[in-house]
Amino acid sequence: MSNNLSLFDITGPIMIGPSSSHTAGACRLGYAARRILGEDVSSVIFHLYGSFKETLKGHGTDRALLGGILGFLPDDIRIRDSFQIADESGVMYAFIKEDEEEDHPNTVKIELIGKTGEKKIVKGQSVGGGNIRITQIDKTNLKIDGKYCTLVTRHWDRVGIVQEVTGILNKCNVNIAQMSLYREAVNDQAYMIIEADDPISKECLEAVQNVAKMQYAAVIDKLY
C-alpha cells in the first residue's frame, strides 16, 4: 500500500473539527472498527497512546472515536453529541490512557463487544490529513487504509480458499485493486484483505461468509 499523500490528503477532509488527525482520523478509526466487528456495538474500550491520550478532550478525540463506533463519519454533526447518543443507546464505553510507546503517536486499540456477543480487537493509527491505517485485528498484524472498498476475512488456512473468494467477487463483477494475505501459522487462522474498485453488495458478502472454513467476513466501505 502506498504511503504517498495527495494535496487533498494534506489539506484535510470535510469534517467536524478541530483536527484532521485527532478528530477526523479518530472518527474513521472508530467507524472502521465498527465495520470490522460487523454489527452494532454494545460496549467498547479505547486504549489511547501517544498524542491521542494527550488530546483526548481538547481536540475531541474521545467524541470522534465514540462517534465512529456509533456509525458516524467525520462530517456528521452528531459527533458533537456522541456521548449523549451512546448513553441513550445503551452503549457502554471507557477510555484508558496507556503509557507504552507505539510506532506512531496517534494510535488507539479498540476492544469491541457487539449486540450478539461478537468480540473484536482493532488497533489503528491516524496518520495525517484524516487518513488512517488499521494495523491489527485480534492477534494478526496487517494493513488497511480505507481508501478502497475493503473485504476483510478470517478463515482457516487451507488450499483453495483464496480462489473461492476471488471467484465470488468475479461473479459479482467486483474488480480487485490489490490483495494481501496474513496468517498466524501454517494451517492456522489467516486473514485476507481484498481492496476493490467496486462496492461489495450484501449478497456478495453473504456468499463469502458461506465459504467452507470461513470464520468471519466483513466489508469496510471506502472511507475517503
Residue 42 C-alpha cell reads as 454494545
Are 125 and 34 in a shared domain? yes
Assess whether 91 and 30 both reside in one domain. yes
The cell numbers describing 128, all together, are 495525517
Q: What angle do CA 35, 117, 83 make, to 5 degrees?
A: 60
Pick the closest to residue 33 from 114, 92, 87, 104 (CA basis): 114
- Domain assignment present for residue 2? The answer is no
**86 and 126 housed in the same domain:** yes
Residue 131 structural domain:
7-144
Give the pTM.
0.82
How far apart are alpha carbons 56 and 77 in whole angstroms?
19
pLDDT tens, residue order, the chain (224 aa): 445 545 444 444 444 444 555 588 999 999 999 999 989 999 999 999 988 888 776 568 999 999 999 999 988 999 999 999 999 999 999 999 998 887 778 899 999 999 999 999 999 999 887 899 999 999 888 899 999 999 999 999 989 999 999 999 999 999 999 999 998 888 888 999 999 999 999 999 999 999 999 999 999 998 88
Whether residue 43 contacts residue 93, with contact meaning beta carbons closer than 8 Å, is answered with yes
The CA-to-CA distance between both ends of the chain, in Å, stands at: 15
